[in-house]
Amino acid sequence: MILAIDTSLGTSVAVVGGDIVTESATLDTRSHAEHIGEFIDRVITDSGLTPADVTTVVVGIGPGPFTGLRVGIAAGVAFAFGQGIPVLGISSHDAVAVGVDACTVVTDVRRRELAWTSYRNGVVVAGPGLTTEATLASDVDLTEFPEVRAGTISAAMLAAAAQQRIDRGDDLSSVAPLYLRAPDATPSNGPKRVSG
Amino acid sequence: MNEPLVLGIESSCDETGVGIVRGTTLLANVIASSMDQHAVFGGVVPEIAARAHLEALRGTLSAAVTEANIRIDDLDAIAVAAGPGLAGALMVGVGAAKALAVSLGKPLYGVNHLVGHVGADVLREDGGEIELPTVALLVSGGHTSLLLVRDLVTDVVLLGETIDDAAGEAFDKVARLLKLPYPGGPHIDRVAIDGDPNAIRFPRGLTLPKDLVNHRYDFSFSGLKTAVARYVETADAVSIPDVAASFRESVADVLTRKAVDACREHGVTRLLLGGGVAANARIRALAAERCAENGIELRVPPLALCTDNGAMIAALGAHLVARGVAPSSLDFPVDSTLPVDTVRV
Ligand SMILES: [Zn+2]
């Protein structure tokens, strides 16, 4: 039984396994910390399961706005720690590319930037990268890999993508976020003068 | 359940802390700090702190459970700092705590970071209940607050706080002026040993009679910082030890004077120091001196319980459990300005 969590856009949590697919999601992009606990609790309970039935946790590691993204990853790590089970990380864009021959997944990462990843049959062929609305078409080959603009990431689809990659034997052990941007901070050049 | 076993998570600033207590007994206190990563910036960078929390999360959880030598299923509750602090940093701890609570099927307590500093006092060698009422002076790079605590659950009052910089920030900024490394506190302490604390009379923020009308227990360090900068820029010959000692004396004087004043006004004979700045040698010494003169008992937890840590959050959580306080609902938000009278969100 996989517990999948994605907070790269809204908050989406799912339990997937056997004939069970239970998902809880919101489009709200600013309340991940509020929703995360209830959603995990709800999908497990509504599936008639207990936390001990979960055997693997999968988290979407972005790209996405950092503050919310970290909530889902932290939750996935902690849930897995509580059960002594593995936590796996895959790109949140993987969830959108499942079952599509060729595509470029594009999501909004705020500050007028877009994140993109190009896929062929669920395998990354270019990206992830950052671009803008104005430069997307020149930065990315949208002819061979047509744009799929995603406003949400489904945790159930994330679980499906993870299952495919587990079956392929990929190493998914890193849950480090795909930040794609360095922190906004500039080293200090010494104090400013205060006297005239 | 007289002695609840509680795991506490702290991520309000630049320390990732996981602590485990059984009632008032400390079982584990594991801290990962991102302090070194902030050094080149001269102060805590929130995004860097938040990234570091996530990186440290699994390791600190695991080390704490190992150190406490408990079975994680035996925990009675999870506690987490819900505020005040840096929102993005708090969210890492809160997201983790919620999921851990659901995973283990245990109640969750979102608690106040500042009241946690007061709660740390129960984790003394000699154990026992926290002795109240007390005035608490909580001073760090993130906060400078004076609290009156008559009951840890029902009666915590904010007497005053900084109206501009936290005291720890002032130490960092003055250290930069003096070309001393980050964090400033320990380095200013070090060079001040050879200095004369009365060499330069730096201002004492918010201590003039006109200020005391509205800000009797509030603090301000911005003017002091500017005064030090002006002095360093304009003095003919600058003695770094004298500047460091005189600056430190001003901070220590204001902090301890207001804390003792609060004890006297409210008839409280106990003063608790908390926060990383409580490690400052002169602040401790002056607090001890003035408390002794006024018949006030001074309490300073060990350094690892003064700086931000998960054990203090666990201790406050255990206190709430023992008092029969209901857990938080799972949907609470982080609150970067959580008021001290909200002990549990
Ligand atoms: Zn603190």
Question: How far does residue A124's CA lie from ligand 1's centre (Å)?
Answer: 44
Residue B167 lies in a domain: yes
Tokens 């802390």 found at:
B17
Residue B340 lies in a domain: no
Tokens 């330069």 found at:
B200
Question: How far does residue B242's CA lie from ligand 1's centre (Å)?
Answer: 29
Q: Is the pLDDT of residue A93 over 90?
A: yes
Question: How far does residue B314's CA lie from ligand 1's centre (Å)?
Answer: 14
List the domains of chain A with CATH numbers: 2-168 (3.30.420.40)
Is B103's CB within 8 Å of A184's CB? no
Q: What domain range is B309 assigned to? A: 5-124+305-322
In this structure, what DSSP letter does residue B161 have? E
Number of domains present in the structure of chain B? 2
Contacts of B237 (CB under 8 A, 6+ apart): none
Judged by CB atoms within 8 Å, which residues 36-55 of B form the interface with A? Answer: 40-43, 45, 47-48, 50-51, 53-55
Q: Is the pLDDT of residue A89 over 60?
A: yes
Is B47's CB within 8 Å of A193's CB? no
Contact A161, A98 (CB under 8 A): yes
CA dist., res. B114 & res. B252, Å (int): 20
Indicate whether B101 and B214 sit together in one domain. no
Is A188's CB within 8 Å of B40's CB? yes
Indicate whether B140 and B70 sit together in one domain. no
Q: Residue B89 is part of a domain; what is its CATH number?
A: 3.30.420.40
Tokens 């994605």 found at:
A6
Contact B180, B188 (CB under 8 A): yes
Contact B15, B28 (CB under 8 A): no
The reported pLDDT for the residue numbered B128 is 60
Indicate whether B68 and B201 sit together in one domain. no
ipTM value: 0.96
Residue B138 lies in a domain: yes
B203 touches chain A (CB under 8 A): no
Could you tell me which of B293, B143, B295, B113 has the C-alpha nearest to residue B218? B143
Q: Which residues of A touch B58 (CB under 8 A)?
A: 77, 81
Q: What is the pTM of this model?
A: 0.96
* Tens digit of each residue's pLDDT, chain B (345 residues): 569 999 999 999 999 999 999 999 999 999 999 999 998 888 899 999 999 999 999 999 999 999 999 999 999 999 999 999 999 999 999 999 999 999 999 999 999 999 999 999 888 766 566 788 999 999 998 899 999 999 999 999 999 999 999 999 999 999 999 999 999 999 999 999 999 999 999 999 999 999 999 999 999 999 999 999 999 999 889 999 999 999 999 999 999 999 999 999 999 999 999 998 888 989 999 999 999 999 999 999 988 999 999 999 999 999 999 999 999 999 999 999 999 999 999
CA dist., res. B25 & res. A175, Å (int): 34
The reported pLDDT for the residue numbered A185 is 76
Indicate whether B64 and B175 sit together in one domain. no
Indicate whether B85 and B179 sit together in one domain. no
Give mean pLDDT, residues A160-180: 97
Indicate whether B162 and B57 sit together in one domain. no
Mutate to test the interface with A, among B57, B60, B98 (most CBs of A within 10 A): B98
Contact B70, B3 (CB under 8 A): no
Helix (H, G, I), strand (E, B) or coil at B200: coil
Question: How far does residue A186's CA lie from ligand 1's centre (Å)?
Answer: 25
Tokens of B123: 């984790």
Residue B328 lies in a domain: no
Residue B339 lies in a domain: no
Tokens of B161: 């706080």
Tokens of B336: 């970067």
Residue B236 lies in a domain: yes
Average pLDDT, chain A: 95
Residue B343 lies in a domain: no
Indicate whether B294 and B164 sit together in one domain. yes
Question: How far does residue B114's CA lie from ligand 1's centre (Å)?
Answer: 6
Indicate whether B204 and B114 sit together in one domain. no
Q: Which residue of B has its CA nearest to A3?
A: B103
Judged by CB atoms within 8 Å, which residues 223-252 of B form the interface with A? Answer: 226, 229-230, 233-234
CA atoms within 13 A on the CB side of B285: 7
B91 touches chain A (CB under 8 A): yes
B124-133 long-range Cβ contacts below 8 angstroms, 24+ apart: B124/B301, B127/B24, B127/B25, B128/B24, B129/B24, B130/B319, B131/B270, B132/B270, B133/B266, B133/B268, B133/B270
Tokens of A105: 């997944």
Give mean pLDDT, residues A78-90: 98
The reported pLDDT for the residue numbered B252 is 97
Tokens of A77: 């790590």
Indicate whether B315 and B290 sit together in one domain. no
Indicate whether B210 and B264 sit together in one domain. yes
Residue B63 lies in a domain: yes
Indicate whether B149 and B267 sit together in one domain. yes
Element (H, E) at B248: helix B240-266
Measured in degrees and rounded to the nearest 5, phi and psi for residue B335 equal -135, 105
Indicate whether B117 and B246 sit together in one domain. no
Tens digits of residue pLDDT in A23-68: 999 999 999 999 999 999 999 999 999 999 999 999 999 999 999 9
